[in-house]
């Protein structure tokens, strides 16, 4: 009955935390590819090769459904995986669509033509690879018209979070928000388009100001997953145990994860 949650490193824990609260009886297997993080500075082939390898490991662990709790992998690799790689009895879902549906006030599976929405000026904070893929703008254009998106690629931020250097991470958030505001002085909404960034959500909100609505993915993904599993109960998988896998150093990764989630987390080598 396990569902797989994948990220390049620690960021997917923000999604894991939300899905565990939303679905307390559902076991999850987490895979952090910490040895190869950050993905945000890698090219698309590299992200595809690393992501497919990790997803295969989660299939081995009994997870027929895997959530890519990583915008970089969702943006750079998911479409290619869905086109020709995923077997019929398995599913891999990304984290972009629930966020865009929330921003564009859509219900799940509403495929009507794009229409005007309330929000007009949106700031997107994401990794360099996600920004250059333009996947967010592409998915948004399917659903909304007249939305101006200004993307800020937040170089260095994932590395600082992975290293646990929160002083550097905070300074980087403030300087990336300043850079964004020079291009778009008054955004109405800000998207945290990397699953590592909710770990810095308070700083983003403080630097952006109280009038900006900050969207982060964890709860939106949790709601979409709960809905998906009701409609596809057969995708709950055969695994029965919660597990945390990493390609990095399990004790170091476990220490950081324990601090972020405020509960004891033990990682094992993937």
Enumerate binding residues for ligand DGL (CB under 6 A).
Answer: 7-9, 11, 37-40, 70-72, 127, 130, 158, 194-196
**Nearest distance, CB of residue 257 and ligand DGL, angstroms:** 14
Q: Which is nearer to ligand DGL, 19 or 70 (CB)?
A: 70
Among the listed residues 101, 98, 104, the one whose alpha carbon sits nearest the alpha carbon of residue 225: 98
Task: Examine the residue annotation and report whether 63 is marked as an active-site residue of this protein.
Answer: no
**Nearest distance, CB of residue 71 and ligand DGL, angstroms:** 4
The one catalytic residue in 3, 29, 140, 194 is 194
Distance CA 122, CA 95 (A): 18
Distance CA 80, CA 63 (A): 20
**Nearest distance, CB of residue 260 and ligand DGL, angstroms:** 13
Q: Which is nearer to ligand DGL, 99 or 239 (CB)?
A: 99
**Nearest distance, CB of residue 86 and ligand DGL, angstroms:** 20
Edge-to-edge strand list for the sheet holding 268-269: 91-93, 63-68, 2-7, 28-32, 243-246, 268-269
Among the listed residues 51, 62, 60, the one whose alpha carbon sits nearest the alpha carbon of residue 28: 62
Q: Which is nearer to ligand DGL, 62 or 215 (CB)?
A: 215
Task: Examine the residue annotation and report whether 70 is marked as an active-site residue of this protein.
Answer: yes
The one catalytic residue in 29, 70, 203, 253 is 70
Terminal-residue alpha carbon distance, the chain = 19
Distance CA 154, CA 169 (A): 10
For the annotated catalytic residues, the residue numbers are: 70, 194
């Amino acid at each position: 009955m396990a569902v797989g949650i994948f990220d390049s490193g620690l960021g997917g824990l923000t999604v894991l935390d939300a899905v565990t609260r939303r679905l307390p009886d559902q076991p999850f297997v987490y895979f952090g590819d910490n040895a190869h993080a950050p993905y945000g500075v890698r090219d698309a082939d590299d992200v595809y090769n690393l992501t497919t390898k990790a997803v295969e490991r989660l299939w081995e662990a009994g997870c027929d459904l895997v959530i890519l709790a990583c915008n970089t992998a969702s943006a750079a690799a998911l479409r290619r995986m869905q086109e020709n790689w995923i077997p019929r009895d398995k599913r891999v879902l990304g984290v972009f669509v629930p966020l865009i549906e929330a921003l564009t006030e859509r219900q799940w599976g509403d495929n009507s033509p794009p229409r005007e929405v309330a929000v007009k000026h949106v700031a997107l904070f994401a990794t360099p690879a996600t920004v250059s893929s333009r996947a967010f703008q592409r998915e948004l254009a399917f659903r909304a018209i007249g939305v101006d998106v200004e993307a800020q690629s937040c170089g260095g931020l994932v590395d600082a979070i992975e290293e646990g250097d929160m002083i550097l991470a905070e300074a980087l958030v403030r300087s990336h928000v300043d850079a964004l505001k020079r291009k778009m002085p008054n955004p109405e909404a800000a998207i945290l388009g990397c699953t590592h960034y909710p770990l810095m959500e308070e700083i983003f909100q403080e630097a952006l100001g109280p009038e900006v609505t900050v969207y982060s993915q964890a709860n939106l993904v949790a709601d979409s997953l709960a809905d998906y599993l009701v409609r596809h109960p057969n995708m709950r998988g055969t695994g029965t145990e919660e597990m945390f896998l990493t390609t990095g150093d399990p004790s170091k990764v476990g220490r950081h994860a324990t601090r972020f989630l405020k509960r004891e987390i033990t990682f094992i080598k993937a």
